[in-house]
Each structure stands twice: as structure tokens, then as C-alpha cells.
């Protein structure tokens, strides 16, 4: 929770939004480089995180993917404003990561975000040409990662054919309806679990015996930890992201914010430390851009009034 103080730290530091944006992109590049390096040298592990072989690939997970996700939409914006091929290469490198991880939700999120950007971004002048370009990129990615994608389709078909409820459905039902012991916990949640406490051991029991992981059920897992007040705060942040007037050059952030809703619902984005850094940075950029635009409008009005 201390990561949310980063928002106030940025206001105290008074860093320029362009510099902060550049730092986020650098962090994204570092994550992509570290991931690809770790994938190549596997099974030797140089970074902490989860690694296992399944779905026709080596599934590597370590913190920092949110920086790459933010960077992806930034490069889409740069592609259609500067029209340089290098930005296509950068975007495909980022898109390769969820494919190599074998995460279906992340792949669909990136593809949906790309489609939304093409359809609604002011920078895209020819929608038809952009969709053709996107289709060609998808075909290229499919041929490069055909084996992995085929395995993902087989996994989806196997899970869809199971008669019992999905483990995430049962876990969501349990944490939403049965886990909280009192009405007060409904509002303030039950807190974070720790192995040194009886509460933490109780949560561990549900994980090990039933496979009920709070981290797997997104916003419901967050609700079970932090309660309804947390959800209200999340909704207020989304209202700010979509209602505040900012410079049009930050339009790509609104597309990122649309996908952030999906990530919050299924992945609990607002309780992941690296995601919090991106969220608080974006809120700071919004604050500065909105302040500058308001004062610019006032200055324009004063010039008109004084002739």
C-alpha cells in the first residue's frame, strides 16, 4: 500500500510529465530485455519469479510487465504520429512476451487494445489501412509462434469441455459470499495474509487444499482483502481517468485505461506494486496536463478580453 505514496512523491518532486513518461518507457525496455534474456538462457534463472514448462513454451513471470504494457500503447501512438517502422518492431517485441508466457488473457487484452486504438484514436487517419497493417502483424505473429498458439487453443478446448465449475468460479464464489466473517469486513476487508499469523495460515489452508487463490480472481480477491471502500476508490480513479481534460497527445493513455479496467477485473491490477507505479504516474501526468490546459484557456480568454 505504500506504493500509492508515489503519487504524492511525484507532486513533491515536480518532475516534468515528458521526463516521467520517458522513464516509464525506459523501464519497459529494461523489462523486455530482461525477459527475452531470461527466456533464452532458461533453465538457468537470473531473476526471481515463477518459471515452468507448459502450453508448448517456458512460462516466465517476474515483476515489470505493466511497464511493457504501458509502453506498447505509447509506441502505437508514436507509430501513427511519427510513422516510423521501428515502432512496429518495438510493438511486436512487446506482443511476443504474453505469447511466450502462454497467457491467453494478456494476448486478447493486447489485441483488443490495438483494435480500440485503431478505431478511436485521432492519430489514425486511415482506419482501413491500419486494420490491414494490424492483420498482417497478427498473421506474422501467428506463423512465428504457431506451436505455442496451437497449444493454447488445445488448453482452452480442454478446459471448456470440463463438466465441473472452473476453479476460479468456485474461488470467486467462496471469497465473495462466504469468506468475510462479519459485516464490518464487508466494508474494510479482511487484510493481507501472512504466514506468521493464524489468519495467514487459514488463507494458506484454502490455497493448498482447495486451490482458492485470491490473486487468481482479480477484483473479487481485492474485495476480500480491502473491502467495498477499496472498490469505491478504484471507481473514483477510473472516473478521473476518463473525465479529466488533458492534452490530446495523452490520448493513448485513455486506451490503456480501458484495458486497465479489464486487468483490474480479472487480475487485480490496483493491488500489484508495479501496476500502482504506472497508475500513480498516469494520475500525476493527468494533473499537470489538466493544470496547464486550464491556465492556457484562461490566458487565451484574457488576451481576447484585453484585445
Range of the domain at 88: 1-162
The structure's pTM equals 0.79
- Number of compact structural domains in the chain: 2
What DSSP line would sit under 237-276, residue for residue? HHHHHHHS---GGGHHHHHHHHHHHHHHHHH-GGGSHHHH
pLDDT tens, per residue, the chain with 307 residues: 789 999 999 999 999 999 999 999 999 999 888 888 888 887 777 777 777 776 667 777 778 888 988 998 888 888 878 878 888 888 888 888 887 777 766 777 777 777 777 776 666 665 555 566 566 556 655 555 555 555 555 555 555 555 445 787 888 888 888 888 888 888 888 888 888 888 888 888 888 888 888 877 888 888 888 988 989 999 999 999 998 888 888 888 888 888 888 888 877 888 888 889 999 999 999 999 999 888 776 656 555 556 5
Run of H or E residues at 26: helix 17-41
In sequence order, what are the residues at sequence separation of 6 or more whose Cβ sits closer than 8 angstroms to the Cβ of residue 196? none
Residue 93 has, within 13 A of its CA and on its CB side, a CA count of: 19
Are both 170 and 196 inside the same structural domain? yes
CB 257 within 8 A of CB 241: yes
Are both 9 and 140 inside the same structural domain? yes
Are both 37 and 81 inside the same structural domain? yes
Would you state the cell numbers that stand for residue 169, as one nine-digit string?
468460479
Are both 39 and 73 inside the same structural domain? yes
Spatial separation of the C-alpha atoms in residues 62 and 95, rounded to whole Å: 16
In sequence order, what are the residues at sequence separation of 6 or more whose Cβ sits closer than 8 angstroms to the Cβ of residue 121? 76, 77, 80, 251, 252, 255
Spatial separation of the C-alpha atoms in residues 247 and 287, rounded to whole Å: 11
Are both 149 and 171 inside the same structural domain? no
Q: Among 162, 196, 230, where does a domain finish?
A: 162
Are both 102 and 53 inside the same structural domain? yes
Are both 118 and 228 inside the same structural domain? no
Would you state the cell numbers that stand for residue 192, as one nine-digit string?
493481507
The C-alpha angle 187, 192, 193, rounded to 5 degrees, equals 130
CB 287 within 8 A of CB 11: yes
Are both 172 and 124 inside the same structural domain? no
Are both 222 and 116 inside the same structural domain? no
Nearest Cα neighbor of 272 from 259, 280, 257, 35 is: 280
- First CA to last CA across the chain, in angstroms? 51
In sequence order, what are the residues at sequence separation of 6 or more whose Cβ sits closer than 8 angstroms to the Cβ of residue 255? 73, 76, 113, 116, 117, 120, 121
Structural domain contains residue 289:
no
Spatial separation of the C-alpha atoms in residues 265 and 31, rounded to whole Å: 24
Are both 89 and 192 inside the same structural domain? no
Dihedral of CA atoms 159, 162, 164, 169 in degrees, nearest 10, equals 20
Amino acid at each position: 500500500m505504500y506504493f500509492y505514496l508515489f503519487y504524492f512523491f511525484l507532486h513533491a518532486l515536480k518532475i516534468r510529465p515528458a521526463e516521467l513518461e520517458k522513464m516509464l518507457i525506459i523501464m519497459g525496455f529494461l523489462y523486455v530485455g530482461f525477459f527475452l534474456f531470461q527466456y533464452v538462457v532458461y533453465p538457468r534463472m537470473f531473476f526471481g519469479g515463477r518459471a515452468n514448462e507448459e502450453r508448448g513454451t517456458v512460462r516466465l513471470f517476474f515483476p515489470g510487465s505493466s511497464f511493457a504494457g504501458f509502453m506498447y500503447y505509447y509506441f502505437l501512438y508514436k507509430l501513427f504520429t511519427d510513422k516510423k517502422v521501428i515502432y512496429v518492431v518495438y510493438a511486436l517485441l512487446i506482443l511476443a512476451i504474453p505469447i511466450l508466457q502462454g497467457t491467453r488473457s494478456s494476448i486478447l487484452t493486447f489485441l483488443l487494445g490495438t483494435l480500440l486504438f485503431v478505431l478511436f484514436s485521432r492519430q489514425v487517419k486511415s482506419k482501413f489501412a491500419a486494420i490491414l497493417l494490424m492483420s498482417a502483424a497478427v498473421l506474422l505473429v501467428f506463423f512465428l509462434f504457431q506451436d505455442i498458439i496451437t497449444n493454447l487453443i488445445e488448453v482452452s478446448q480442454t478446459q471448456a469441455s470440463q463438466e465441473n465449475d472452473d476453479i476460479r468460479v468456485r474461488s470467486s464464489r467462496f471469497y465473495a459470499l462466504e469468506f468475510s466473517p462479519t459485516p464490518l469486513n464487508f466494508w474494510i476487508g479482511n487484510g493481507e495474509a501472512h504466514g506468521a499469523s493464524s489468519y495467514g495460515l487459514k488463507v494458506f489452508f484454502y490455497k493448498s487444499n482447495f486451490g482458492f487463490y485470491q490473486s487468481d480472481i482479480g477484483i473479487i480477491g481485492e474485495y476480500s482483502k480491502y473491502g467495498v471502500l477499496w472498490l469505491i476508490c478504484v471507481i473514483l480513479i477510473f472516473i478521473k481517468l476518463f473525465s479529466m481534460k488533458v492534452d490530446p497527445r495523452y490520448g493513448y493513455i485513455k486506451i490503456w485505461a480501458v484495458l486497465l479496467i479489464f486487468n483490474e477485473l480479472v487480475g487485480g491490477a490496483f493491488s500489484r506494486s508495479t501496476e500502482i507505479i504506472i497508475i500513480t504516474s498516469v494520475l500525476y501526468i493527468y494533473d499537470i496536463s489538466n493544470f496547464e490546459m486550464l491556465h492556457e484557456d484562461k490566458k487565451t480568454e484574457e488576451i481576447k478580453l484585453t484585445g
